Structure formats: C-alpha cells, structure tokens
Amino acid sequence: MHTWMAKFRYAGQGLVHAFISQRSFHVHLPIGLLVLLLAVWLELEPWRWCGLVLCIGMVLSMELMNTAIELLVRVLHPEQDPTIGTALDTAAAAVLVAAIAAATVGLIILLQPLWASL
C-alpha cells in the first residue's frame, strides 16, 4: 500500500513541476478548464464529455512526456547536438499534433450544442 501512495505522490510532484515550470502547460491547462466549464454550461451528454476529457488528457499527457524528455536530455547530454535537437523538436511536434487533433475534436463536439444554445 505504501508504494502506491508514494507513486501517486511522485506523480503529483511531477504535475506540480510541470505546472510551475512549463509555459506550454500554462496554456493547455487553462484552455482545458475553459472547455470543461463550457461543457458544464452546455449540459453536454456523457459521450461528449468522454471525448473532451480524453482529448484534454491526451494533450496534457503529451506535454508532460515532452517535459520529461527535455529534462532527461539536459542531464544526459547537456551540450548541443543536432540529432538530439531534432528529437526534441519531434517531441514538441507530438504535442502540437495532439493539440490540433484535440481542438478539432473539441470543435466537432461543441459547435452543434453551442449553436443550439445561442
């Protein structure tokens, strides 16, 4: 039991670190919260909630993974290297692709109910 509590504590520490240190996280998290508040206001069906929560979770998870990769690279290979730079760019591109996909799904899910409520 103690090891599970420690795992949750470590994960929480990672989440706090990302929130404090990552500018991108300062963008993605508030946007995700605004989308969820909009979903509450629109009183969305459960299937729409599932899509939104999955997309928000996907983007935040990708951002956390990108942060982890960046931190590891700084420790393991602090000097500049073009191949590592390309790897870091690719990890950042993964976040971008996830964010674009999430925004697209969000529009598909939210536009009709939003239009109907106006």
Q: Any idea which residues carry the catalytic annotation? A: 63
Task: Compute how many other C-beta atoms are within 10 angstroms of the C-beta atom of residue 27.
Answer: 13
Q: Cα–Cα distance between 68 and 21 in angstroms, integer?
A: 12
Helices 46-76 and 82-117: angle between axes, nearest 10 degrees? 160
For residues 46 and 105, what is the distance between their CA atoms, to the nearest angstrom? 15
Q: Which residues contact 42 (CB under 8 A, 6 or more apart)?
A: 110, 113, 114, 117
Q: Do 87 and 52 contact (CB within 8 A), yes or no?
A: no
